[in-house]
Amino acid sequence: MGGRIWTAAVVVSLCAGCVTARPKPENPAPPKEEIRFDPVEIKVDVELLKLNEAELLAEGEAAFGNKEYEKATRYFDRLVMAYPDSAHRRDALYNAGLSYENLGQWEEALQRFAELADPAKGTGDALDAAFHAATAHYNLERFDEAEKILATIAGRQDLSINKRLEAQVQQGVCQIRAEHLDDAEATLSKAIARYQELSDKGEVDDYLAAQAQFYLGEIYRRHCEAVVLDPNKGVNQLSEDLEYKAQLLLAAQGHYLRAIRMGNGDWVTAAGAQIGGLYESLYEHMVNSEAPKELTGEEAEIYKQELRKKVRVLITKAIDVYEHTLEAAERIGSKNDFVDKAKASLQKMKDLLVADTEREEQEAKEAAQQKAPTPAPKGGPKKSGAPQEPRT
């Protein structure tokens, strides 16, 4: 609701001047200076002043429903400030937090949710506000603060298993972002174990179990990408590093596949995209790795040829995974960043495969030309003596 804006400009000036003549003091004080303050502009939405608490709540909810989140914050914040004893104050605080959350203004959202949140004992809005406060901390990259809230919720025995698992999985995600990978693996593994022990899996949203498996995959993916293939370490060490890297890749892939088997659409496409990314990343490591220095020229060439064969396998696997991921995404109507990533990566891998095939064909052609015998000159060998005369 648009309203007239009332503006008041206040200018305060302190001036010194003589009203009547006074005797000149022996030690006159320094002359007084005139101090001018900048104008203070106060803007008040007159329409908000006209509304009572119930009307402010209703107007705020209407704006929120229309996704006019900035407008919604004005109504909700006005209600909170103007009616501190209102029965609608908690609703206004919570809705203001949601509005700021939708605007991506996480500090403002946190201020509203923090007043309501009670992770240790809260229920209803107090519990939901605690989850939202953790989300705000997470987006503000205060991962330790978010983890504390979530660990408190996860440890409560008075909550449903679904709420406890939700908190525990999110706690693990925060630990990953804080680079506490061992702690994160322990937290997420416990969440999976809790889920597996349930006689009725329907008690828990399959989204959570799939999310836990996905992020266990993320932990092993990080470990995999941290292994650097350094040819300067020699053939034996390079072979061991490559084998270790492959084992970590398979461990990550195993968790991603378990996430896919959960059948939750959001994590099916995310996990599929990450599996393709594993092969793509290993391809990048291998193709950019130099031959070990201890190999001779011929040995180094053989090494590169064998490496190219393995790289071709990786490209082919990545293409296969990306194609299946995109087919699944289309089938379930999934649209997210992972789908976009899979599309771009699929095209990249196809282009690499075409380029590699063309390069291989060109090299084979050049090798065949070098091995072919040089043809003898036409007309047979020249005889010694006088030069041959052309035929007439």
User: Please, which pLDDT band fits residue 1 given cuts at 50, 70 and 90?
Assistant: very low
pLDDT of the residue at 18: 37
Q: What pLDDT was estimated at residue 13?
A: 34
pLDDT at 222 over 90: yes
Mean pLDDT of the chain: 83
Q: Is residue 97 part of a domain?
A: yes
Q: How confident is the model at residue 379 (pLDDT cuts 50, 70, 90)?
A: low
In a domain? residue 210 = no
Q: Tell me: the pLDDT tens digits for 289-344?
A: 777 888 887 888 888 777 778 778 878 888 888 888 888 888 878 777 888 888 88
Half-sphere exposure of 45 (CA within 13 A, CB side): 12
Domain enclosing residue 107, as ranges: 46-116
Across the range 385-391, mean pLDDT stands at: 43
pLDDT tens digit sequence for 83-138: 999 999 999 999 999 999 999 999 999 999 999 999 999 999 999 999 999 999 99
The owner of tokens 């696997």 is: 317
Q: Residue 110 sits in a domain of what CATH number?
A: 1.25.40.10
The torsion region of residue 382 among left (phi > 0), alpha (psi -120 to 50) and beta comes to: beta
Q: What is the pTM of this model?
A: 0.75
- The reply to whether 100 falls in a domain is yes
CA quadruple 164, 170, 171, 176: dihedral positive or negative? positive
Between CA 236 and CA 140 the distance in angstroms is: 45
Residue 153, pLDDT > 80, answer: yes
Give the Cβ contact number of residue 224 at 10 Å: 22
Structural domains of the chain, count: 1
Burial letters 62-90, b for 16+ CB under 10 A, else e: ebbeeeebebbbbbbbbbbeebeebebbb
Among residues 172, 277, 138, 177, the alpha carbon closest in space to that of 221 is found at 277
- Confidence band for 140, pLDDT divided at 50, 70 and 90: very high
- Considering the domain boundaries, does residue 166 fall inside one? no
Residues 6+ apart with CB under 8 A from 48: 3, 56, 74, 75, 78
Q: Kindly give, in sequence order, each residue whose CB lies less than 8 Å from that of residue 290, ignoring residues fewer than 6 positions away.
A: 231
**Is 83 contained in some domain?**
yes
Give the model's pLDDT for residue 141.
97
Judged by average pLDDT, the poorest of 63-72, 77-86, 262-271, 345-354 is 345-354
> What percent of the chain is predicted at pLDDT more than 90?
49
State whether residue 45 is helix, strand or coil.
strand
84 in any annotated domain = yes
Angle formed at CA 370 by CA 295 and CA 365, multiple of 5 degrees: 90
Does residue 93 lie in a domain region?
yes
